[in-house]
Amino acid sequence: MLMAVAACAIVLMSAACGPSAETPAATGGTTASSTSGDSSTTTTSGSTGTTTTTDKAADPSMYASLSGDISIDGSSTVFPITEAVAEEFGDLAGGNVRAVVGISGTGGGFKKFCASETVISNASRPIKQKEVDLCAAAGIEYIELPVAIDGLSVVVNPQNDFVDCLTVDQLNMIWKPESEGVITKWNQVDPSWPAEDIKMYAPGVDSGTFDYFTEAINGDGGVSRGDFVASEDDNVLVQGISGDKYSLGYFGYAYYVENQDKVKVVPIDGGAGCIAPTDETINNGSYAPLSRPLFIYVRADAAQEQHIAEFVRYYLSDHGQELAASVGYIPFPHQVYDLALDKFNASSTGTVFGGDNAFKGAVADGLMR
């Protein structure tokens, strides 16, 4: 498992503390289901399901008495981790806990979460103030838990033989709102590049990946040119980029790793030279400014149900960390998970990393606030 204390230096862009609630308890078997657009896939764990295993198997007898449903939605980036945890946890629980994991983007997930349609929300960015307010208006209290580290990968078609690196300034030139209809060809970014149209692909506006990229590159989350092919499904982006020689796009690092035979990653110069996203560069923070923490948000009232509480504890355990690594993400150092588990067990509600008064600093330091 890839872990380094340097990962604690992953810095959040935003935080405000909320009230305290109560914590609690438990878990069970599972059905992991993903839905995106008109298509959906469902994996039912148990004796017939496909299960990702860790080096040290958990004891199924610990979860045999658990039963119930867990409704989860949100980020497509966090989906692979949550799906893997749901499959393995469900197998341990003998299929008596049914976890359905949907994909509607971080923003779409928070809308469902604050409307009590889900009990856990996957998020590839911290909760925004408008989402804090939405949940508060509905009386929804939540526990904010970091679960892994990811890097955003800027990618082109494998046949692209001219882009070997992009600076943050060049990315801003391409993606800022003022460039819509103006910067349309590769040679406008660099005169030595061909005078071919740039076909752009990116996550949709409800995606936390979109928010994080636009904040890091354009200086304001959600601010971007709009003339690109958008999808909440990263597989759609991969298909588009792999099918067009002059394409450009971005999505989470794990999706690049999974599809590196179909797309070519572009090293990014954030001021310290051209650095490609790797486990090491994302972990140690040198892949800047496109490294980020990932979260799950758990409804405080739902966390009092034993099967949900144990599912979350399993997610934060060594088993969950190994599963995060197995699907291409980078676990935090153990200290972060210990602090997150303490926070969950104490039912400490509200956001530290999101909202208008966001904490800026190491994730571990934020969890100790």
Report the distance separating Cα 244 and Cα 157, nearest Å: 6
- On whether both 127 and 159 belong to a single domain, the answer is no
213 close to 290: Cβ distance less than 8 angstroms: yes
Low-confidence stretches of the chain (pLDDT beneath 50): 1-55
- On whether both 15 and 141 belong to a single domain, the answer is yes
- On whether both 35 and 91 belong to a single domain, the answer is yes
Provide the greatest CA pair distance for the chain: 66
- Among candidate residues 283, 306, 332, the one where a domain is terminated: 283
User: What letter would DSSP give residue 273?
Assistant: S
Query: Tens digits of per-residue pLDDT, 226-251?
Result: 999 999 889 999 999 999 999 999 99
- On whether both 123 and 193 belong to a single domain, the answer is no
In sequence order, which residues have a C-beta less than 8 Å from that of residue 135 and are 6 or more positions away?
Answer: 110, 113, 114, 127, 141, 142
- Among candidate residues 283, 308, 334, the one where a domain is terminated: 283
User: Residue 138 burial by CB count (10 A; 0-12/13-18/19+): exposed, middle or buried?
Assistant: exposed
CATH of the domain at 268: 3.40.190.10
- On whether both 256 and 314 belong to a single domain, the answer is no
Report the distance separating Cα 245 and Cα 251, nearest Å: 18
- On whether both 266 and 328 belong to a single domain, the answer is no
Rg of the Cα trace of the chain? 20
Report the distance separating Cα 325 and Cα 175, nearest Å: 31
- On whether both 50 and 136 belong to a single domain, the answer is yes
Q: How many CB atoms lie within 10 A of CB 15?
A: 22
- On whether both 163 and 200 belong to a single domain, the answer is yes
- On whether both 143 and 50 belong to a single domain, the answer is yes
- On whether both 41 and 132 belong to a single domain, the answer is yes
Report the distance separating Cα 2 and Cα 331, nearest Å: 7
Alpha helices in the chain (DSSP H): 79-92, 105-114, 129-137, 168-175, 208-218, 234-242, 253-258, 279-283, 306-316, 318-326, 334-345, 363-367
User: Number of folded domains in the chain?
Assistant: 2
260 close to 212: Cβ distance less than 8 angstroms: no
- On whether both 75 and 171 belong to a single domain, the answer is no
* CA neighbor of 363 nearest in space, from 333, 321, 341: 333
Q: Which domain holds residue 213?
A: 152-283
Q: How many CB atoms lie within 10 A of CB 260?
A: 13
Counting runs of H as helices and runs of E as strands, what totals does the chain give? 12, 14
pLDDT reported for residue 343 = 98
- On whether both 353 and 238 belong to a single domain, the answer is no
106 close to 124: Cβ distance less than 8 angstroms: yes
Write the DSSP assignment of 221-253 as a string of letters: TT-----SEE-S-HHHHHHHHHT-TTEEEEEEH
- Among candidate residues 249, 283, 317, the one where a domain is terminated: 283
pLDDT reported for residue 56 = 53
Query: Tens digits of per-residue pLDDT, 32-79?
Result: 443 333 333 333 333 223 333 334 568 888 898 999 999 999 998 899
